[in-house]
Amino acid sequence: MSQAVGVSELLAAARAAPGFMPDDEGRALYEAARSVAVPGPLLEVGSWMGKSALYLAAAARETGRQVVTVDHHRGSEEHQPGWEYHDPSLVDPAVGRVDTLPHFRRTIADAGAEDVVIAVVTRSETLAPLWSTPLALLFLDGSHTEESARRDQDAWVATLAVGGTLAIHDVFPDPADGGQAPYGVYRRVVGSGDFQELPGTGSLRLLRRLR
């Protein structure tokens, strides 16, 4: 597809892409990214096969920003053999490990978003100490264990510009609905007093950094 593909086409591609984000939450992420008032790139932690990256890409296309995605592309704990979301077709037989990077690249390329999406293939905590550009939007959607979710919070929230937007996915106050690690991140961020909560959608929580 042409690199000139428009916002509506990117949103349609996001809806059709493989992944776990409902369209109403994806549209809310897009709206949050397109409306953020401070300069800077959009960065997501945890990309899977690129669905949420396309919602962010639509906002980036509209506002002249870039999207940076950070993922080791070896899958989270729940994607490993014997776990709930394991898909054997995603295992690279040469190394015997999950590898979602080829699928991610195909998703971004097929949507015509390669000019606005920059993929960094590493662990989130490896990149964070090297990062110096204040972020306009930070989207946390990485591994959902308590340890890794806290690690992503500690590594990246400080890089968000004042006035920037923090988006946290899979926030479930009721343990019966889902894991509690992202909810813990959300509670800690709200409790810091440094953020103002914005209207969210479904399991997506949005907050603006005040200081």
SS3 56: helix
SS (H, E, C) 94-161: CCCEECCHHHHHHHHHHHCCCCCEEEECCCHHHHHHHCCCCEEEEEECCCCCHHHHHHHHHHHHHHEE
State how far the Cα of 57 lies from the Cα of 152, in Å rounded to an integer. 22
Residue among 124, 122, 12 nearest 57 (CA): 12
- Give the E-state strand segments of 100-183 in sequence order: 117-120, 135-140, 160-168
Q: Are 32 and 206 in contact (CB under 8 A)?
A: yes
Which of 73, 79, 103, 144 is the catalytic position? 144
Q: Is 86 a catalytic residue?
A: no
> Which residues does the annotation mark as catalytic?
144
